[in-house]
Amino acid sequence: MLNPSVDDKGIVDLDAGLEPVNVEQRFANPKADIDRDQTKNWFRRVLPILLANRRSFGLGITLMVTTMMLGVSVPALIGKLVDSIEPTLSTGEISDFIFLVTIILIISLIRFIGGAIGSYQLGRVSNQLEADLRSVVYNHLFTLSFSFFDKTQTGQLISRANSDIKTIQMFLMIAPMLLTSLLSFAFAAIYMLSVHLTLALASMIAIPLVFFLSVKLRKLTFPLSWLTQARQADVAVIVDENINGQRIVKSFAQELMQVNLLARAAKKLQWVQVRSVDVSAFYNPLIENLTVLGSVLVWVYGGWLVIEGEIALGSLVAFTMYLMMIQMPFRFLGWMLMLEQRAKASAGRIFEILDETSEIKDKEDKVEMKEIKGSISFKNVSFAYANEPILKGLSFEVEPNETVAIVGQTGSGKSTIIRLLSRFYEVDKGSISIDGVKVQDMGVKNLHYHIAQVLDEPFLFSVSIKDNIAYGRPDASMDEIIQAAKAAEAHDFIEQTSEGYETVVGERGYTLSGGQRQRLGIARALLVDPSILILDDATSAIDVRIEAKIHKSLLKLLNKRTTILIAHRLSTISLADRILVLDKGKILASGTHEYLLTNEPRYSEILAQQSNKETVVEEEKTSDESDEEYRKRISEMVIKDTSEEGFKGGFDE
């Protein structure tokens, strides 16, 4: 961990040392970003990343153009070689013939070497562009706020960050071939016009029609390319959801329904792809065969000119070879246009992500705090998800090193409070402060450095148990990792796994039980030693005996930091110094467990409705019972069930 300079107020200017980082950076950031000007076309926006490797790109283009120009000279030399055959036969002098053959062989060797190096350089640049563009996309995704991911499907993001980028890379790798073909077309056309004007014009008679058909093909291909990429993403979404949700699919025996869902999406994709094939199957052969018309005219008209003595036989041979050069761009022009339109469509889909701006941004004069005491203040905070109000003028205070439990009905806004505290979302109204500093004024990474969360369903990565625990502190020693695991009562079950702390867990940690995953989540949070610890129903999947042991360890640790508990179990609530009762987005009451049981009937009712082993079974209101009588009866039941012995009994083994 780095130790940046700190002023008297505990505020620093550098945030590099205020966040957990890998000891050694494994990958370099991309050398350039896309052009953020949305008015430019897709290629100009990607161009800065391409030009970041301008040396390799320039060398590749130079070599490709050079070999092309050398290639343009070969037909003319072959024409002279053909014309030299007759004098050689009549005089027996072969020096000119040998000289021309030698020149052609040298040019071919240079073209081979230059073409190989040029192709390698361009291929290297295009693959580097793919890697850089993918890094740009992933880096940008990490800057976006939770609200973006709430409305965006994972499969869509995966498709755009992979197949769409690959489509752009493929086009940019092949595009230089078209460039050199067009240049060779220009040089070949100049030579042909210099040899015989009428014959050259006859060979190019089909070019205007080919151009018209190519433009038509381009207009038809773009919408189909966009649809193809979009429907490929739809298929990816279904596959991603079915893989991640396979336990739900199988438990409800809905395999056939999901297969049918995938089949319908695949059918839509098939329709678009077949339509694209239909368009290509009509236009591409038409474009290619129109060029044959020029070949027929050259051989018929050119042969007559040779017979009439207007041009030499060698010139006709060179003419036919140049004809192949001017036809080459049109032979794969349709295919290139299709790739270009797919690349354009893919770029548009990628820019939809890159043009998204995060709602959560650091201020230019952001405050960076090395240490915090942990006081928390919510003042008149209001927040809504998609215009659905959740918090309404919420206000409360938490003192440094205080442990506060928040209880409330499902949907009352408990988890929303911690999301706003961590600034995963911006408040609509009001303010949230830590040590008197508004969270909006703090650097986001600095804020997250001081807050650790343990959720009811912790996410584990497909790496070793050790790496999962040390995720927030990759440089932690093995002893520190073991101590954190012991505090979370995870050490014993870890030792029983096949390779101990080096055991690699399955995707999302599903090779472990829910309780084991939660214990690793607690260990991960304790290892970073945060100033503010948030436990969001973090022991819901852990049995009571193990939970009691975890609570014993937590009691020794909670007095060193501010802790917020999103609580459902009475045993968890017992850890709190104070309890906040949340109802319909507002704090209904605040106090100790005993005080709330006696003075707040709503608290008793909430506890009675928690469906776990430590709470009473929910009681239905009778028809002849008033609301006040019902709440009084519930309160008496809870008080009886949570007597001092029963409430604290969770800590007895």
What is the per-residue pLDDT across 477-533, written as a single tens digit (0 to 9) for each?
Answer: 899 999 988 888 889 888 888 888 888 887 667 778 778 888 888 888 888 888 898
The pLDDT score that the predictor gives to residue 397 is: 92
Q: DSSP string covering 517-540, please?
A: HHHHHHHHHHHT--SEEEEESTTT
For residue 504, the cross-strand partners are: 464
More confident residue, 642 or 362: 362
Q: DSSP string covering 430-475, please?
A: EEEEETTEEGGGB-HHHHHHHEEEE-SS----SSBHHHHHTTS-TT
Q: Model pTM?
A: 0.66
> For the chain, which residues make up each domain, given as ranges?
42-354, 592-653
On the question of pLDDT at 301 being above 60, the answer is: yes
Which 3 state secondary structure label does DSSP give 590?
Answer: strand
Residue 510, both tokens: 């599903």
The pLDDT score that the predictor gives to residue 220 is: 80
Distance separating alpha carbons of residues 248 and 254, to the nearest angstrom? 8
The pLDDT score that the predictor gives to residue 106 is: 92
More confident residue, 591 or 342: 591
Which 3 state secondary structure label does DSSP give 404?
Answer: strand
438: which residues sit within 8 A by CB, 6+ positions away? 431, 432
Query: Of 416, 379, 375, 418, whose CA–CA distance to 398 is shortest?
Result: 375
Distance separating alpha carbons of residues 565 and 579, to the nearest angstrom? 9
Mean local confidence (pLDDT), 615-626 = 48
pLDDT in tens, 428-484: 899 999 999 999 898 888 888 888 888 777 788 888 889 889 888 888 889 999 998
The pLDDT score that the predictor gives to residue 434 is: 92
Amino acid identity, position 110: I
CATH number for 42-354: choose from 1.10.3720.10, 3.90.1570.10, 1.20.1560.10, 3.40.50.300: 1.20.1560.10
Mean local confidence (pLDDT), 181-194 = 80
Dihedral sign computed on CA atoms, order 123, 126, 130, 132: positive
The pLDDT score that the predictor gives to residue 652 is: 38
Q: Which of 83-87, 115-119, 126-130, 378-382 has the highest mean pLDDT?
A: 378-382
Helical pair 255-308 and 333-354, crossing angle rounded to 10 deg:
140
Report DSSP state, residue 27. Answer: S
Query: Of 405, 408, 410, whose CA–CA distance to 607 is shortest?
Result: 408
Q: Give start and end residues of each alpha helix (H) in 355-432.
A: 414-421
On the question of pLDDT at 653 being above 50, the answer is: no
The pLDDT score that the predictor gives to residue 12 is: 38
Residue 508, both tokens: 């999302």
Distance separating alpha carbons of residues 68 and 75, to the nearest angstrom? 12
473: which residues sit within 8 A by CB, 6+ positions away? 20, 480, 527, 528
| Contact present, 285 and 332 (Cβ < 8 Å) | no
Distance separating alpha carbons of residues 591 and 602, to the nearest angstrom? 13
Query: Of 347, 250, 362, 338, whose CA–CA distance to 15 is shortest?
Result: 362
| Contact present, 111 and 70 (Cβ < 8 Å) | yes
The sheet carrying 562-566 orders its strands as: 451-454, 532-536, 562-566, 403-408, 578-583, 586-591
| Contact present, 403 and 577 (Cβ < 8 Å) | yes
pLDDT band at residue 609 using 50, 70 and 90 as cut-offs? low
| Kind of pairing between the strands at 403-408 and 562-566 | parallel
On the question of pLDDT at 639 being above 70, the answer is: no
pLDDT in tens, 548-565: 777 777 776 777 889 888
Average pLDDT over the chain, rounded to an integer? 78
Distance separating alpha carbons of residues 550 and 486, to the nearest angstrom? 9
The pLDDT score that the predictor gives to residue 619 is: 47
Share of the chain above pLDDT 70, in %: 83
pLDDT in tens, 214-267: 777 777 877 887 788 778 777 877 777 777 676 667 666 677 877 888 888 888
Ranges 121-125, 141-145, 303-307, 645-649: which has the least confidence: 645-649
Amino acid identity, position 377: S
Residue 102, both tokens: 């030698």
Query: Of 128, 36, 125, whose CA–CA distance to 351 is shortest?
Result: 36
For residue 429, the cross-strand partners are: 382
Residue 16, both tokens: 């590099």
| Contact present, 450 and 456 (Cβ < 8 Å) | no
157: which residues sit within 8 A by CB, 6+ positions away? 141, 353
Query: Of 377, 372, 421, whose CA–CA distance to 398 is shortest?
Result: 377
The pLDDT score that the predictor gives to residue 462 is: 80
Query: Of 567, 569, 581, 524, whose CA–CA distance to 543 is shortest?
Result: 569
The pLDDT score that the predictor gives to residue 433 is: 93
pLDDT in tens, 353-397: 888 888 888 888 888 888 888 899 999 999 988 778 889 889 999
| Contact present, 221 and 337 (Cβ < 8 Å) | yes
318: which residues sit within 8 A by CB, 6+ positions away? 75, 76, 78, 79, 191, 195
Distance separating alpha carbons of residues 434 and 531, to the nearest angstrom? 11
Q: Give start and end residues of each alpha helix (H) in 309-388.
A: 313-331, 333-354
| Exposure class string for 579-603: b at 16+ Cβ within 10 A, else e | bbbbbebbbbbebebeebbeebbbb
Which 3 state secondary structure label does DSSP give 358?
Answer: coil
The pLDDT score that the predictor gives to residue 542 is: 67
- Token pair 């439990």 in the structure block, residue: 405
Q: What is the CA radius of gyration of the chain?
A: 36
The pLDDT score that the predictor gives to residue 24 is: 52
Mean local confidence (pLDDT), 52-69 = 86
Which 3 state secondary structure label does DSSP give 578?
Answer: strand
Do you know the residue count of the chain?
653
| Contact present, 604 and 443 (Cβ < 8 Å) | no
| Contact present, 412 and 583 (Cβ < 8 Å) | yes
Which 3 state secondary structure label does DSSP give 393?
Answer: strand
pLDDT in tens, 28-57: 677 888 888 888 888 888 888 888 888 888
| Contact present, 453 and 418 (Cβ < 8 Å) | yes
